[in-house]
Structure 1
Amino acid sequence: MTTSTEVRPSLSSRLKHETAAQHERMHTLMEAADPFASRDGYARFVAAQYLFQRDVEHLFEDAAVRAAVPDLDGRGRAAASQADLADLERELPQADLASAGVAMPEALGWLYVSEGSTLGAAFLFKAAQEKLGLSAEFGARNLAAYPQGRAAAWRNFVAALDSDALDARTHDAVIAGANAAYDRFARLLARTFETA
């Protein structure tokens, strides 16, 4: 008699596959916005980024989120986005906090979207440098790598996601949180660039 053990996909694997369409939608929205065509367009993108990062960093206050992601204090880019807007001589945008009612485990989905965008921002950072003359010290702080590097920061985050400390029964809620975060950033981009 043989017994088979069902192998469940990891949370990070499920997130990657089950939010793939959302990820592609972000690429399409960014292409349509073309934020690196001018400093004005880029400033609009940073305004959206600031509001989204403010939403994400609100979740850092949750003790359960802090327990799940031990290096949380080194993450988040709201302050960098705020400084970039000042460099670009733009006022801080105002909007309601979209994550006010979000808690664990959905909060991890929001972090997944934020951390994934940080990992993928290398191309955006290069465009900001080459097309707009910006840098990690002026205007493009929000796109710069973490001090430990993009890949190391991502690996640490994925290790937290795939930890045994997260009950597999909560994975659907994390994925729902990621979809909500993608939807939020899509709305911010649409709102920001419709005013152009």
Structure 2
Amino acid sequence: MDTTTTSTATLSHSQALKAASHGTHERLDQRIMRAEPFAALANYGRFLQVQWRFHHDIAALYARADLALLLPDLAERQRLREIEQDLADLGLALPAPGAQAPALDPEHCPLAEALGWFYVAEGSNLGAALLFKATAALGLDEQRGARHLAGHPDGRLRHWRGFTGMLDAQPLRPAEQELMAGGARAAFTRVHRHVDELLA
């Protein structure tokens, strides 16, 4: 028996989501960095438009009563308004919404699927620490142009653990776990499409 391989059955929900989406997540990070979003304000502006499209896609998740029961601070986790302020700081208009594929019905999709999409949104906030530091070279900060990348006052890691603690405590059946993984993969696919249209 190979004891070096960890069975997915022993993983927490957040660990399983990380494993399920690792490949597409890595490819997305590489594509974004190849576009050099912090090399010039024009590049960063296109990166902001990608961010706006994704957060616009998932905006209705933050109004769901079932998610609010699990995360009392749900509403304050939304970053769409900050992205819009960042775009305004740079004199940029909101982009047109992107193609709606893969489809998401944020108000009515199963809770497990919504959690998968939400995992991607929350993970992007955790991973934004290095991006936030990079904006300083462009003269941007939490007061101008980089509000949506700034960390939570309680700290990024503590904020992330508040989410993953809730997620890992959910009593999900195998079919629901697969729905959740599918939601996370679909979220990354959506961002890939926005990168194709705006950043690549």
TM-score by length of 2: 0.87
Does the 8 A contact of 1:56 with 1:76 survive in 2? no
Q: In the alignment, is residue 120 of structure 1 matched against residue 124 of structure 2?
A: no
Write the deviation string for residues 3-51 of structure 1: whole angstroms up to 9, x where unpaired: xxx9642111101111110111111111221111100000110011011
CA RMSD of aligned residues (A): 1.9
In the alignment, what sits opposite 2:39?
37
Q: In the alignment, is residue 178 of structure 1 matched against residue 180 of structure 2?
A: no
In the alignment, what sits opposite 1:189?
195
Distance 2:87 2:95 in 1: 9
Write the deviation string for residues 131-178 of structure 1: whole angstroms up to 9, x where unpaired: 211000000001111222101110000011111444454111011000
How far apart are residue 97 of structure 1 and its match? Answer: 7.9
In the alignment, what sits opposite 1:22?
24
In the alignment, what sits opposite 1:12?
14
In the alignment, what sits opposite 2:141?
135
Does the 8 A contact of 1:136 with 1:144 survive in 2? yes
Does the 8 A contact of 2:51 with 2:83 survive in 1? yes
Distance 2:194 2:145 in 1: 20
Distance 2:9 2:118 in 1: 25
- The worse-fitting range, judged by mean Cα deviation, of 18-27 and 171-180 is 18-27
Distance 1:7 1:193 in 2: 38
**Residue among 63, 69, 72 paired with 2:71:** 69
Partner SS for 2:143: coil
Partner SS for 1:134: coil
Does the 8 A contact of 1:87 with 1:139 survive in 2? yes
Does the 8 A contact of 2:116 with 2:180 survive in 1? yes
Distance 2:60 2:99 in 1: 8
Distance 1:87 1:9 in 2: 42
* Counterpart residue identity of residue 119, structure 1: L
In the alignment, what sits opposite 2:4?
none
* Counterpart residue identity of residue 160, structure 2: W
**Residue among 38, 53, 56 paired with 1:54:** 56
Distance 1:192 1:46 in 2: 10
How far apart are residue 61 of structure 1 and its match? Answer: 2.1
Partner SS for 1:108: helix
How far apart are residue 94 of structure 1 and its match? Answer: 1.4
In the alignment, what sits opposite 2:162?
156
Does the 8 A contact of 2:98 with 2:194 survive in 1? no
In the alignment, what sits opposite 2:5?
none
In the alignment, what sits opposite 2:105?
101
Partner SS for 2:133: helix
Does the 8 A contact of 2:90 with 2:145 survive in 1? yes
* Counterpart residue identity of residue 17, structure 1: A
- The alpha-carbon distance between structure 1 residues 124 and 184, as it changes in their structure 2 partners (threshold 3 A), is same
In the alignment, what sits opposite 1:3?
none
Does the 8 A contact of 1:119 with 1:154 survive in 2? yes
- The alpha-carbon distance between structure 1 residues 139 and 187, as it changes in their structure 2 partners (threshold 3 A), is same
Does the 8 A contact of 1:128 with 1:134 survive in 2? yes
How far apart are residue 55 of structure 1 and its match? Answer: 1.7
Aligned residues: percent identity?
A: 38
TM-score by length of 1: 0.89
